[in-house]
């Protein structure tokens, strides 16, 4: 290994350490920190972010990258890929002043605490001034870059490298009418019953059941943990420390089980990243769409499948005998896949979920280009919910305040959820070709082959390949909606007798 490569890896390793230290503070803010600590926490995150930004954009890093790009030109090794990704990150990061990174850390820390209060009181006015400042900073961030086809392209690229707003719109415009048509067909037939899902369930038993499931999936508790937070999420401090959070909703108690599967899907991706990539730009998932493909696969394609519940339903029934008395496996399977308009994105069924994402994409684009005023956001949200989903939120908590992302300044993120659904179905078709008895394995509660396939084809590569290249490498095509439409159509035709 060349001396210059060693020097670059050492600096980037220190940047990674600083960023992960910030992630620890962020995790603690969600899980443990008293609300009074927000001001100090914002300053701490600002300091770490500023140091990391200054270190990662130093002239020394720029010189090392330029020299190494020439040295490794045309190579296809891990080191060559690391240099390519590091160069891309450097070109973006050097445009953003360290002072801006510090300011954004302080603003979003305050914004998060305001969101928590606003959501608990269902009062958007508490969050509004903070969101206005967050969006102002997002627009300022966009201004640091050369003009793009659309200003939203710059934000989207942070989460889905190389993807353009126009591409996402085209994918969604092709997908939307097919999903709407399926939903209309479902709405014309007899609805399935799910009243038994909304009974009172013991919180600890639900929590423990979810943990038992993800243990069987392969979530490594020696390198992970699950804690409570206002909004479920996964965070990575290293390949040997990937944590998840969850929550319990009294009016939707079994959602905790599906959230555990979802977040464990993210965490297992991170746990499967090549350990040799630790403390380099290649560590972790290649993009949020690919990340979401993992979480949505374990939550939905596995966790809401009939073979899955053929294995787990008898034990669930033993755990909750009074709630599930007289409920058959088929009835339960249909209930957890019921299609109906719903207010909350994270609890939406597979047939309507992407419509929630399309709604948010339109709002984010409007906020970024200035065509939507923040003060009008609740009203516009409610109007789009009527147009897209057919229902109107009764309050802000169940409407515009339901998601945590904007409080953190994570604008450009939401479309990756729907893209992840599409990728999950593309991968699923390929997995079923390679593992011909997959349903039988799931029926027996065995997930080793599935996790092993994902480890080999997706997880181990970390960030070595760009997302579209990785999807094409594994499935033979770039991100496309056809497989997902086939999956939804077959599944719901069987459930609803279409």
Handedness of CA 4, 5, 6, 8 (dihedral sign): positive
Location of structure tokens 């755990």: 319
**Nearest CA to 45 among 68, 22, 23?**
22
User: What is the C-alpha to C-alpha distance for residues 450 and 217, in angstroms, rounded to an integer?
Assistant: 9
Can 292 be counted among the known catalytic residues? no
**Nearest CA to 468 among 430, 416, 432, 433?**
416
**Nearest CA to 86 among 112, 105, 63, 103?**
63
Angle at 197 between CA 191 and CA 199, to 5 degrees: 125
Bridge partners, 245 (sequence order): 227
Residue of 103, 113, 160, 263 with catalytic role: 263
User: What is the C-alpha to C-alpha distance for residues 222 and 81, in angstroms, rounded to an integer?
Assistant: 30
What are the DSSP E strand ranges found in 112-240? 226-228, 234-238
Rg (CA), the chain: 22
**Nearest CA to 198 among 347, 356, 25?**
347
* Element housing 225 (H / E): none
User: What is the C-alpha to C-alpha distance for residues 229 and 212, in angstroms, rounded to an integer?
Assistant: 20
Structural contact between residues 51 and 74, judged by C-beta atoms closer than 8 angstroms: no
Bridge partners, 238 (sequence order): 241
End-to-end CA distance of the chain: 61
* Element housing 246 (H / E): strand 241-246
- Catalytic positions are 263
């Amino acid at each position: 290994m060349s001396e210059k490569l060693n020097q670059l890896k050492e600096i980037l390793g220190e940047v990674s350490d600083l960023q992960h230290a910030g992630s620890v503070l962020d995790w603690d803010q969600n899980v443990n920190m008293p609300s009074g600590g927000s001001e100090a926490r914002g300053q701490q995150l600002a300091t770490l972010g500023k140091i990391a930004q200054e270190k990662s954009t130093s002239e020394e890093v720029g010189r090392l990258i330029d020299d190494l790009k020439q040295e490794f030109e045309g190579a296809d090794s891990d080191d060559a890929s690391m240099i390519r990704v590091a160069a891309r990150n450097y070109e973006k990061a050097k445009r953003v002043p360290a002072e801006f990174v510090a300011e954004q850390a302080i603003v979003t820390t305050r914004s998060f605490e305001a969101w928590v209060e606003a959501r608990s009181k269902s009062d958007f006015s508490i969050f509004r001034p903070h969101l206005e400042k967050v969006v102002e900073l997002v627009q300022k961030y966009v201004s640091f870059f050369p003009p793009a086809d659309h200003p939203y392209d710059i934000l989207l690229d942070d989460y889905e490298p190389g993807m353009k707003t126009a591409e996402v719109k085209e994918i969604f415009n092709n997908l939307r009418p097919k999903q709407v048509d399926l939903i209309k067909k479902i709405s014309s037939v007899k609805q399935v019953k799910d009243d038994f899902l909304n009974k009172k369930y013991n919180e600890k038993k639900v929590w423990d059941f979810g943990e038992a499931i993800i243990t069987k999936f392969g979530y490594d508790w020696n390198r992970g943990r699950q804690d409570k937070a206002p909004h479920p999420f996964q965070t990575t401090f290293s390949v040997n420390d990937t944590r998840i959070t969850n929550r319990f909703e009294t009016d939707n108690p079994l959602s905790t089980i599906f959230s555990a599967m979802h977040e464990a899907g993210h965490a297992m991706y991170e746990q499967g990243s090549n350990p040799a990539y630790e403390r380099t730009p290649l560590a972790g998932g290649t993009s949020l769409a690919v990340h979401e493909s993992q979480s949505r696969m374990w939550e939905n394609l596995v966790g809401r499948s009939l073979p899955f519940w053929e294995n787990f339903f008898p034990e669930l029934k033993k755990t909750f005998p009074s709630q599930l008395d007289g409920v058959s496996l088929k009835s339960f399977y249909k209930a957890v896949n019921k299609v109906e308009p719903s207010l909350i994105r994270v609890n939406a069924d597979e047939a309507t979920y992407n419509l929630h994402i399309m709604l948010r994409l339109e709002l984010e684009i409007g906020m970024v280009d200035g065509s939507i005023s923040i003060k009008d956001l609740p009203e516009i949200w409610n109007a789009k919910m009527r147009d897209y989903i057919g229902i109107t939120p009764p309050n802000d908590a169940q409407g515009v305040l339901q998601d945590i992302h904007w409080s953190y300044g994570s604008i450009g993120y939401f479309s990756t959820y729907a893209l992840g659904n599409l990728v999950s179905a593309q991968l699923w078709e390929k997995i079923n070709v390679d593992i011909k008895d997959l349903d039988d394995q799931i029926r027996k509660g065995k997930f080793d082959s599935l996790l092993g396939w994902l480890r080999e084809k997706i997880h181990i590569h970390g960030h070595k390949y760009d997302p579209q290249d990785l999807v094409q490498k594994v499935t033979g095509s770039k991100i496309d909606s056809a497989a997902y439409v086939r999956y939804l159509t077959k599944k719901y035709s069987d459930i609803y007798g279409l």
